[in-house]
Amino acid sequence: MRSPLMRVPSWPEEFRARYRAAGCWTGETFADFVRDRCERYAERTAVVGTDANGRSVRWSYAELGRRASAAADRLAAAGVTRGDRVVVTLPNIVEYVAVVLGLFRMGALPVFGLPSHRALELTHFCSLSDATALVVVGEWDGHDFRAMHDEVSAQLRSAGQEPPELIDVATWPSAPDPPTVSGSGAADGPGTAHPAEEVAFLQLSGGTTGISKLIPRTAADYLYSVRESASICGLGESTVLLVSLPAAHNFPMSSPGILGVLHSGGSVVLARDPSPRTAFRLIEQERCTMASLVPPLAQAWISAARRRTPDLSSLDVVQVGGARLSDAVAPQIREVLGARLQQVFGMAEGLVNYTRLDEPDGLVLTTQGRPISEYDEVRVVDAEDREVADGEEGALLTRGPYTIRGYYRAEAPNRDSFTADGFYRTGDLVRRLPSGHLVVTGRDKDQINRGGEKIASEEIEGLALSHPDVLDAIAVGLPDQYLGERICLVVRPEPDREVPDLTTVLGTYLRAAGLATYKIPDLITVLDDFPETHVGKNSRRDLRRTLAARLTDQVPAG
Ligand code: AMP
Ligand code: DBH
């Protein structure tokens, strides 16, 4: 038996009442959403892409509805029921959309892993969420996910936990089975007064401290952000969104992303790999009108478009977010790609900021936008949590109708990441302009942002420290022309040990430990001594800063 979902920190009743009264929170559940949109837009094209076996696929909304039900039936046959957590780690294939909507229909909770996650992360997510099943595609990009499921299962068993069922979408037939009479896929919402306000899925966070945490999101809060995002971004039935980023990321899922497009009756085009070649082919073929990119991908598109002159004439808006877009690259979105730029500064915990499509270049090219909602509360504060004047740099705190009040099963981090009155400490340093626009100027969290992927320094350090030849380890982000930051791991070896090539040994060690590919350090440096820092709460943070500054001067920029 799986444990029920634990209680999560949530909005006080006074806020719930306010968000309901303001119309931010409606009673729509994800099951309602799936049923309603698949019926309403039945004949329109919902999803274009490839399936687990590489076949080209084009599903109408009605077909998507059938596929979601078929996925729900298969999940139910594997033992998944309402309220269960299911870790999904699929690449950008059409089954991803069917599985997620299928889980929504049955009232089970997706936990959004990435295809780049490995046994270490997936064991952690399965364990923390007490997952009933792990959904994978048999083999992808040379990685065997079935073998990884075995590894995850062995680890959980040795910790006395029940392993998740393996669900391999590569074994699913290309045509859906006829729907079962039980209709397990189409269950109605739970019998509570506000089913839409129950936790509907767990999203992942790079977080502000420690390793990835699970973010509990509800239909009420999430669909509010999705509806508003769709409206801000001008989505409609003619929208064709190209999804080149990993589909499970919060950005391509909800800002306005796949859900925003399905809400509006448009089409989602899934790119199975992020290369400009694949993207340009799909834009030409499907006449994509919109794409969401992280800055390194935007740069890759720009340089590829300069060389190849693809037909991007259908492209109206290119969104860039996930990491700071440099002011130098921003104008090239229009100059080279011929599209309007929209900057997006968001977080899986909630708050999303957009530059609006009708705003002047001065704001669009140099700010990261302003919040979605008039109910988003934003405070920019100094080290004592006192608000600073507009234009001055400070730490960004936020609270609102779609920003969580706490992570799932994370009491200690919650004390650090949220104020007593429920503001989320984003860990971002910003300047707020009188117009409400935010400019992201830096960060006060121990995190590396590698081209939009967030990595907690502590996670890499902890793993490096488990190697017997390592006395101490520090992971920092060093400036990188292309990625924004790359990961540098600095290790201090055990004094008495003679390791011929600790850097190579450690690289192999981290990979073998099951660390996600994007977290593997780009550079490993050995130092016999670490600089002295003050003792105390912030000593490791000081050490990271000192080493990052020193290495930035010494190592040529990547
Ligand atoms: P996460 O909490 O893992 O969802 O990551 C969200 C974080 O990504 C934010 O708190 C920022 O640090 C960073 N981020 C997202 N979008 C932008 C952007 N447009 N500019 C700068 N940083 C961003
Ligand atoms: O980086 C992010 O997490 C992010 C970026 C843009 C996000 O969660 C979002 C938009 O919703």
Which residue, by CA, sits nearest to atom 8 of ligand 2? Answer: 347
Residue 518 contacts residue 122 (beta carbons within 8 Å): no
Give CA–CA dist 138/168, Å, rounded: 6
pTM comes to: 0.96
Residue 287 gets the label, from left (phi > 0), alpha (psi -120 to 50) or beta, of left
Buried-state track 197-231, b at ≥16 Cβ within 10 A, e below 16: bbbbbbbbbbbbbbbbbbbbbbbbbbbbbbbbbbe
Block mean pLDDT (10 aa), the chain, length 558 = 85 98 98 98 98 96 98 97 97 98 98 95 96 97 96 97 98 76 47 86 82 93 98 98 98 98 98 97 98 98 95 98 97 98 98 98 98 98 98 98 96 93 97 98 94 94 94 95 95 84 92 94 92 77 89 76
Q: How far is the CA of 346 from the centre of ligand 1 (A)?
A: 5
Which atom number of ligand 1 is nearest to the Cα of residue 353?
Answer: 19
pLDDT, residue 242, reads 98
129 lines ligand 2 (CB under 6 A): no
CATH of 447-554, one of 3.40.50.720, 2.60.40.10, 3.30.300.30, 1.10.3470.10: 3.30.300.30
Residue 443 contacts residue 425 (beta carbons within 8 Å): no
* Per-domain residue ranges of the chain: 31-219, 447-554
pLDDT, residue 27, reads 96
Residues near ligand 1 with C-beta < 6 Å? 205-206, 250, 321-324, 343-349, 368, 426, 428, 440, 443, 449, 454
pLDDT, residue 184, reads 46
Which residue, by CA, sits nearest to atom 7 of ligand 1? Answer: 347
3 state SS of 211? coil
Give CA–CA dist 252/183, Å, rounded: 30
321 lines ligand 2 (CB under 6 A): yes
31-219: CATH number: 3.40.50.980
pLDDT, residue 177, reads 65
Which residue, by CA, sits nearest to atom 20 of ligand 1? Answer: 324
Ligand 2 pocket test, pick from 213, 226, 250 with the greatest ligand atom count within 8 Å of Cβ, gives: 250
Give CA–CA dist 355/234, Å, rounded: 13
Give CA–CA dist 268/247, Å, rounded: 11
251 lines ligand 2 (CB under 6 A): yes
pLDDT, residue 179, reads 62
